[in-house]
Structures are given as C-alpha cells and as structure tokens.
Amino acid sequence: MPDMFLQRLDTADVLQPVTIKKRATAEVIHADLTDRIERLAAREPKFRGCTASLPKPLPPRRDGAPNWTIDGFPQLHSGCFTTLVKIVDQVRHEYDLVA
C-alpha cells in the first residue's frame, strides 16, 4: 500500500499559492490609500499632509500582477517617499482596479 503522507507531500510541491484580490474602483482604492497614509501620519507626524494621486489603469505584465499605478504623491514631504511607495505597493497587491 502506498504511503499517503508522501503522496500528499509530492502534491504540495506542485501547488502554487493563490492570492485573491479585492476588486474596486479608483475612488475606493484611493480612499483606502488615503486612510492608510492618515493612520501612518497619526503615528509619525512627518507624514501629515502627504497624499497619493488617484489610481489609473495599467496593463498587467503577467498573471496576478497589479493592473494599476499612481502618477505620484502631490503632497510629499522630505523623507517620506520610500514609505509611501511601500504602502502603495502593498495596496497594489491587494486590489484589482475595475472601471
């Protein structure tokens, strides 16, 4: 009789993780970005007043890749860029932009 445990391990090696993204309009994604930046600003004052532009469609490069981007940060303070890019990158992996 074959060892069922080993068969399951072999199958697990083949499976790829699946990420299910939320689907939202540019306005909903922008509101989430704004909320995250405001929560950060509540903890770290240097981020107060920082904003992100409205998301715009972007053709995905591969399956599961983000399908939107932003043009930048209209209100950007010194020393904030890298952290804001990380926030946007996280949100891009959580949301798919819909019309």
pTM of the model: 0.78
Q: pLDDT: is 64 or 93 the higher one?
A: 93
- Cβ distance 55 to 82 under 8 Å? no
Would you say the C-alpha torsion 32, 36, 37, 41 has a positive or negative sign?
Answer: positive
pLDDT digits 0-9 by tens, 7-39: 555 555 555 566 689 999 999 999 999 999 999
Q: For 49, which DSSP code?
A: T
| Domain residue ranges in the chain | 21-97
pLDDT digits 0-9 by tens, 82-98: 999 999 999 999 999 99
pLDDT, residue 64, reads 80
pLDDT, residue 10, reads 55
> What pairing do the DSSP bridges indicate for beta strands 22-24 and 56-57?
unpaired
**Residue type present at position 2:** P
